[in-house]
Amino acid sequence: MKKNNLIFNMATTALAIVISMMIAFAIIFLVSEDPARAIESFLLGPLQSKRLIGSIFTTAIPIAFTGIAVSIMFQASMFNMGAEGSFFLGALAAAGAATSFNLPGILGIIIPILVGGLTGAIICSIPAFLKIKWGANELVSSLMLNYVTFYLGLYILNNFIRDKNFGALASHPLAQNNKLPRIVQGTSLHAGIYVVILLIVLSYLLIFKTSIGMKIRMLGQNPEFARYSGIKVGGVVIFSQLIGGMIAGIGGSVEIMGMYGRFQWTSLPGYGWDGIILAILARNKPQFVPLAALFLSYLRVGASAMASNAEVPKELITVIQSIMIMLVTANALLKSFKQKMVVKEALTNGTNS
C-alpha cells in the first residue's frame, strides 16, 4: 500500500510535468519563428557549457534552502509563507553582520550565517505565535508579514548599513573572508552547496528520525490526535516554524555570501515562493527537495538559454511552473488510475483488512 502511494505520487508528478511541458511547447510554436531551435536550446541549452552546468547548481542552491524550510513548516500543517521574508531579512542581517564587525578568518563566514539564520527563525515564528496566541490564520499573517519584513529591511539598509559612496542603494561591500569560496573553476558554484547538503541531511533526520520530528508530523496529520497523545502542540508548532525560518535565513546569508559582493536587493527576490513550489513537488519531504530544486533550476537555465538563442521570453518558465503546481496539487488527477491500482491490490489480497 505504501509503495502504491509512492508510485501514485510519482506518476502524478510525472504526468503534471509532461502536460505542462506540452503546453509550453505549444506556446513556443505559437510565438517563436524558429520553434525547433527554441525547444532545442530550452531542453539542451543548459548542457552546452561548463559554466551553464555550474549555474544549474548555483541556481538550485537558494531554492533548495527555501524548499526544505517550507517543507518542514508545511509538515506541521502550518501554511507559513514567511520563508520569503526570512530569506530576505536573513540575507540582509548576514550582510550587516559581515560589514559591521571585523570578523577574523572562518568566523567571517560562520557568524554572518548564524546571524542570518537567527533572523530568519524569528521572522517565521511570528505567524506561529500569532496563531497559537490569538488563532490568527498563518497564511494571511505571514503574507502580510513579508511586506513588513521587506520595508523593515529597506529601512535598515538605508539607515544603518548603506554604503553612501556607492551609486545605488546597497550595503558596504563584503570583505574577502566574508565570501564563500568558489569550488569549481570556470563556474559560479560556491561552497554554499556544502551547507545546503548538510541541511538536507539534517532536516531529513529531524523530520523522520527524531522524536520532535515525529511530533511535528503527528501534529500536521491530526492536531487533535497530537494533543491527545500528550504533545505540547504550541511548542511543537513554534519549534517547526523556527527551524524552517532558520533554514530560509541561512539560505539568504549563503546566497549573499556566495553570489554577491554586497547586499543590494531592493525588492523581494522570490526565493521563498520558489520554496513553496519545491515543497509541493517534493511533497514536503526534505530528501526529495534537491531533486526538485535541480529540476526547476534546469528549466530556468534552459529558459534563459532559449531567451538569448531564440527570443522566446524566459517568463515562459512561470507558465510551466504554474501549470505543474496546479496539476500536482489536483487530487482528482489520476484518481481513476489510483482506484484501479487499489482494486487490483484488493483483488490479489482478497481481504478487506
Partner 1 sequence: MIKKGNSTVPILEARNISKVYGNGVYANKNICFSLNEGEIHALVGENGAGKSTLMKILFGMEKPSTGEILIKGNPVVFSSPQDAMKYEVGMVHQHFKLVDPLSITENVVLGYEPMKNGLIDRKTAEEKVKEITKIFDIREDLSTPVGKLPVGTKQKVEIVKALYRGAKILILDEPTAVLTPQETVELFEKLIQLKNEGLTVVFISHKLREVKQITDRISVIRRGELIETFFTKDVTEQEISAKMVGTTYTSALDKGESKLTEVVLDVKNITSKGLGDISVVNNMSFTVRGGQIIGIAGVEGNGQNELIEMITGLRPIDGGSVKINGMDTAGKSIIQLRNAGLSYIPSDRIDRGLAISMTIEDNMIATKLDQKSLYTNGLLSRSKIRSMSEKLVKEYLVRCNSVEAEVGMLSGGNMQKVVVAREFTQGATLIIAEQPTRGIDVGAAKFIYEELIKLRNQGCAVLLVSADLEELYKLSDHILVMYNGEISAYIKNPSEVSETELGTYMLGVKKQSAEEIKGAYYEKE
168 near partner 1 (CB under 8 A)? no
Q: Give the footprint of partner 1 on residues 189-218 (CB under 8 A).
A: 205, 208-211, 214-215, 217-218
Q: Give the footprint of partner 1 on residues 234-293 (CB under 8 A).
A: none
The residue range among 45-53, 186-194, 250-258, 339-347 that interacts with partner 1, by the rule CB under 8 A, is 339-347
Closest to partner 1 by CB, 185 or 211? 211
Site size with partner 1, rule: CB under 8 A:
36
Q: What Å distances lie between residue 309 and 36, 188, 234, 273, 275, CA to CA?
A: 11, 21, 53, 28, 29
Given a contact cutoff of 8 angstroms between Cβ atoms, the answer to whether 272 and 86 are in contact is yes
Q: Which residues of 223-262 are buried (b: 16+ CB within 10 A; e: fewer)?
A: beebeeeebebeebbbbbbbbbbbbbbbbbbbbbbbbbeb
311 near partner 1 (CB under 8 A)? no
The grid coordinates listed for 177 are 573572508
353 near partner 1 (CB under 8 A)? yes
Q: Mutual orientation of helices 233-259 and 107-134 as an angle, nearest 10°?
A: 150
Provide, rounded to whole angstroms, the least separation between the CB of residue 7 and partner 1.
Answer: 14
Closest to partner 1 by CB, 104 or 350? 350
Provide, rounded to whole angstroms, the least separation between the CB of residue 207 and partner 1.
Answer: 11
331 near partner 1 (CB under 8 A)? no
Beta bridge partners of 171: 162
Burial class (CB in 10 A: 0-12, 13-18, 19+), 344: exposed
Provide, rounded to whole angstroms, the least separation between the CB of residue 230 and partner 1.
Answer: 4
Contacts to partner 1 by CB under 8 A: 1-2, 5, 205, 208-211, 214-215, 217-218, 221-222, 224-232, 335, 338-339, 342-343, 345-347, 349-353
